[in-house]
Structure formats: C-alpha cells, structure tokens
Amino acid sequence: MVILSILIGLLIGTVLGLTGAGGSIFAVPLLILLLNLPVGDAVGLALGAVAISALIGTLNNWQGKYILWLPALTLGLSGALFAPLGKYLGNQVPDLLLLLGFSILAFTVAIIMWRQASTAPQHAEVVRSGTGSEHDYIEPICRFNHAETFRLTAKCFSALLSAGIVVGLLSGLFGVGGGFLIVPALLFITQVSMRQAVATSLLIITFISTIGFLSFAASSPAVNWPLLAKICTGGVIGMLGGHVVADKIAGPQLQKIFSVSLMITALITLGDQLVKEGI
C-alpha cells in the first residue's frame, strides 16, 4: 500500500508537471481505482496532493519571473473563496452522480487537450515543469482596457473574478486544479504568452486546491493523513522529475497520449462505480 500510494502521487505530480493544463484531473480516478477510496475522500485527498505538487512547481518557476501576480491573486483568491462551496455541494450529491459529472468533465478536458495538440502544437510544448526564455515574457494588458499596461479596472476584475468562481466551484466539486480553465482564461483576459499563463496557473491551483482541501479536512471526521503524506511525497518527486525531463519529452504527441489515457481512466472509473452500485 505504501509503494502504491507513492506511485500514485508520482503519477499525479508527473502528469501535472508535463501538461500545460488539465493534468490534475487524473488524481481522482487514480485514487478511486487503485486505492478503492470513496468518491468524496478521493476528491478531498486529490485536492491536497495537487496543492502540494502545484506549490513545488510554483517554487520551481519562481525565478523565471513568468508569474502574473495581480491576475493570480484576483483569480486565485476568488476561486479559493468558492472552492469550499463546491466541496459542500459535492457532499450533497450521490457518489454515482458526482462521478458521472466528473467523467463528463474529464472527457471535455481530454478533447480540449487533443484539439490543442492538433491545432496549436507549439502550445503543447509549454508545460508547467518546463523552462522558458526571455522571449516568453510579454507585458500583460487587459483585453477589456484601452491602456497599454495591465490595470485592474472594474471590467478586468469582473472577468478574472468570474473565471475564479467557476474554477473554484469545479475544484471543490470534483477535486481538480482547474488549469484547463485557468490557462485559456489568462490567455484571453491578459493576452500574455503561454509560458506566463501556465506558470501563473500553478500558483492559482495552489491557492484554490489548498483551500478546497482545508474545507474537506474541516468537514471530514477522519482525514487519512499518513496516506496523504505518501501521495504528496510521490507528487513532489513527480513534479521535480518532470522538471528534469520536460523540455525533452513534452509535446503534442505526449499530450494526445494523456488525453486518451484520461478518457480511458474516466470510463473505467465510472464503470467500476456502476458495478459497485449494482447497476
């Protein structure tokens, strides 16, 4: 069990680091399938594991100066405020229905990942564990402002706030980091480079997943802390390992493999739950 838990964390951290968006969605089905956890516990522990892995990735990106602090704080804090509400709503939903919703979300993310790999392969090479260059820095502006520099006007704030609310609800509800929404939202609103959006998404995921996990821990009678520690250990190793190999193996083909794997994993997880429910 110890080795399996660490391996699951290793896979979570590696996939999170080797994708530009959408990697953390692997966490929940892996915890359900391989550790036989209830859906609610899997969602909660996934948030904890993703938070730690994302924090390590953020620290790795710290020196690159790609993080957009003002958008990150606005989107991240609004998402963090709504993550507990998403967790509360998830607790009111039967496991099968919650897993069905998760599977629909997983398929949506997988399709987005596949399409990006096909239509914008250069974006698929920009991953959270990768390195960048001085050409990856673009001075942020807000699509909703007329100024040449980023200013948090009412319209810009509302756009970031709305994105944060949606990401926070989905994060608390399904245990996902929300990068599949965060990255395109940042690209659209702030019009920065893919590298900046991906680096900033890790900081936002850290905010939201941490608050989501804390709300889970506060409402759960007994959090399995030793299990979480093992998963997080693997996650940290996976994220650090991804940083070493990211620039060598990341690309559109790897992203397509991830997208197909996600679809298969979601289907198997849903089928397993249907069997447990006797349907």
- Predicted TM-score (pTM) of the model is 0.89
149/209 Cα distance (integer angstroms): 30
Domain that holds residue 52: 2-276
pLDDT tens track for 224-235? 999 999 999 999
pLDDT, one tens digit per residue, over 240-275 is 887 777 767 767 888 888 899 999 999 999 998 888
- Using the structure block, give the residue that is written with the tokens 């673009």: 138
Q: Quote the CA–CA distance of 171 and 214 in Å, as a whole number.
A: 13
* CA–CA separation, 265 and 270 (whole Å): 9
DSSP assignment letter at 94: -
Helix (H, G, I), strand (E, B) or coil at 203: helix
pLDDT in tens, 191-232: 888 888 888 998 999 999 999 999 999 888 788 999 999 999
Q: How many domains does the chain have?
A: 1
Distance (Å, whole) CA 165 – CA 142: 19
Q: How far apart are CA 106 and CA 180, in angstroms?
A: 10
The residue to which tokens 């299990």 are assigned = 227
Distance separating alpha carbons of residues 117 and 50, to the nearest angstrom: 23
